[in-house]
Structures are given as C-alpha cells and as structure tokens.
C-alpha cells in the first residue's frame, strides 16, 4: 500500500515562496502522475497541477501558471511543489495525491492522498 | 465558485437513504468519469467512489455512485452517525485541461 508523507507546516510572509515535499513509499513512484490539491480554511478542494515523475513533465491550472513549480527527485521518491509570490489567500492545506492508474485523466482518480501541509501566509 | 455544483448541505436520520447530487457540463461529467471523496474535517480526503460507480476495497457497499448525462449522484444507504462528514465530487474537464471539484456537501445525521 503506497503512502504519501508530506513535509511539515510552514509560516511565510507575503511575497515569499514555499516548497512542500511529498515522499512516496514503495517502488512505483515513477509509474503514476502526482497531483497537488489545496484547500483554504473552510473551503473546498482546488486542483493546482500535476507532474509526471518519470519524465518530469508538468501541467498546471491556469490560476497558478507562473507562480507554481513542480519537481521531483526520483532517487528519493519525492515530489515537490513550490509556490512563489505568496499572498494571504494562499493560506491553505496543501495535499499531494497520486493518480490511481496510468492512462487518460478522464477515467482516473486520486488515491492515496498525503496527510496535508498547512501553509500560513501572514505578515 | 466551483465548476461542479453540489448542495452545500444534506441530512438524514440513522438508517435512512440519502443522495448527494453533483452537476456539471459536457466538458467534464458529460465526457469523463466522476469520483467521490469523503473528508473528515481536519484530515485528508479519502477516495470513496471512482469511475462513477466503483468502490475501492474497504468502502462499505452502503455507498454507491451513478452518473447520467452531465450529472452524478452519491447514495448512502443505512445512514450511520460516522457518515456525518464532507463529500466532494470531482471530474476531469476537457476544456480546462484540469481537474475540477464540487464545492462539497456537509452531511448531517439527525
């Protein structure tokens, strides 16, 4: 059973950057895309983007284009999400989530999820 | 404003059947499968239903999903107190080339 373990909570000032890590157990890290989803306090889920851990290819939600970078280190089965130019409305729980199977997104799903990383942006 | 539309709340009594709707469009639900996630507040979402109506191992058969056209539904039979959490639908959107979620439904067991 794959498990995703994320880095700890962060507190950042407006304008700063944050980098969150997501370490996968097992030996299937490069087989399935890794996604990042965030949830502002009391709000719903919002997809940010994904990375193919094998190729490094990425795609992002338009809202985050230019501010988000997703990378991976296959030697340690870890994916990273960096968000720059932080604003107060970036305060949220950030989750990594693995695609359920390889193949088209239209018939895919997210499972498992990491435990979440709370990023607080405050002056 | 979420791309997929869910009622913000739903309720039922123990043992009752409850359904939660999820409405979308031709570019998301109309052409792709729907997944449902269950979230206990303060914890990560958990996959509940995938590919419209498939249950992952370990999910009770009280939970079922369906899809018709541009809408989907989650049904919970034999409502239990531990079902009182949040539920989200999700689908891939071909126009946006990204995943979209419903705004979430908070289920109350009366």
Question: pLDDT tens for residues B28-68?
Answer: 999 999 999 999 999 999 999 999 999 999 999 999 999 99
Nearest to A106 among B32, B45, B103 (CB): B32
Q: List pLDDT tens digits, range B63-82.
A: 999 999 999 999 999 999 99
**In this model, does residue B14 exceed pLDDT 90?**
yes
Residue for token pair 């950030």: A94
* Phi, psi (rounded to 5 degrees) for A30: -85, 0
User: Is beta strand A45-51 parallel, antiparallel or unpaired with respect to A34-39?
Assistant: antiparallel
Instruction: Give percent of chain B with pLDDT exceeding 70.
Output: 100
Residues of B in contact with A2 (CB under 8 A): none
CA distance, residue A97 to nearest chain B CA (Å): 10
Q: Chain B residues contacting A, CB < 8 Å?
A: 2, 31-33, 35, 37, 43-47, 50-51, 56, 88, 90, 92, 94, 96-104
For chain B, say whether A105 makes contact (Cβ under 8 Å): yes
**In this model, does residue A27 exceed pLDDT 90?**
no
**For residue A107, what pLDDT is reported?**
87
Kindly give, in sequence order, each residue whose CB lies less than 8 Å from that of residue B32, ignoring residues fewer than 6 positions away.
Answer: A105, A106, A107, B91, B92, B93, B94
> Tokens at residue A22, please?
């997501």
**For residue A25, what pLDDT is reported?**
96
pLDDT band, residue B88 (cuts 50/70/90): very high
Residues β-bridged to residue B36: B49, B89
Look over chain B and give the mean of its residue pLDDT values, rounded to a whole number: 97
Q: What DSSP state is assigned to residue A25?
A: P
**In this model, does residue A102 exceed pLDDT 80?**
no
When pLDDT is averaged across residues B12-30 and rounded to a whole number, the result is 98
**For residue A48, what pLDDT is reported?**
98
For chain B, say whether A107 makes contact (Cβ under 8 Å): yes
């Amino acid at each position: 059973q794959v498990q995703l373990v994320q880095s700890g909570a962060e507190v950042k000032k407006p304008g700063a950057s944050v980098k969150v890590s997501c370490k996968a157990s097992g030996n299937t890290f490069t087989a399935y895309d890794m996604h990042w989803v965030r949830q502002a306090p009391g709000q719903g889920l919002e997809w940010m983007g994904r990375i193919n851990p094998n190729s490094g290819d990425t795609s992002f939600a338009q809202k985050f284009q230019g501010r988000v970078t997703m990378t991976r280190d296959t030697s340690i089965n870890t994916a990273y999400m960096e968000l720059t130019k932080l604003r107060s409305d970036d305060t949220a729980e950030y989750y990594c989530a693995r695609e359920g199977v390889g193949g088209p997104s239209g018939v895919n799903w997210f499972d498992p999820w990491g435990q979440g990383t709370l990023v607080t942006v405050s002056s | 404003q979420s791309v997929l539309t869910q009622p913000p709340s739903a309720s039922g009594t123990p043992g009752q059947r409850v359904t939660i709707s999820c409405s979308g469009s031709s570019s998301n639900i109309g052409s792709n499968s729907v997944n449902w996630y269950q979230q206990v507040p303060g914890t990560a979402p958990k996959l509940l239903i995938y590919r419209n109506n498939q249950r992952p191992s370990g999910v009770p058969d009280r939970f079922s999903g369906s899809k018709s056209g541009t809408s989907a539904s989650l049904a919970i039979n034999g409502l239990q107190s531990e079902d009182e959490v949040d539920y989200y639908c999700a689908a891939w959107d071909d126009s946006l080339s990204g995943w979209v979620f419903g705004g979430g439904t908070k289920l109350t067991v009366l």
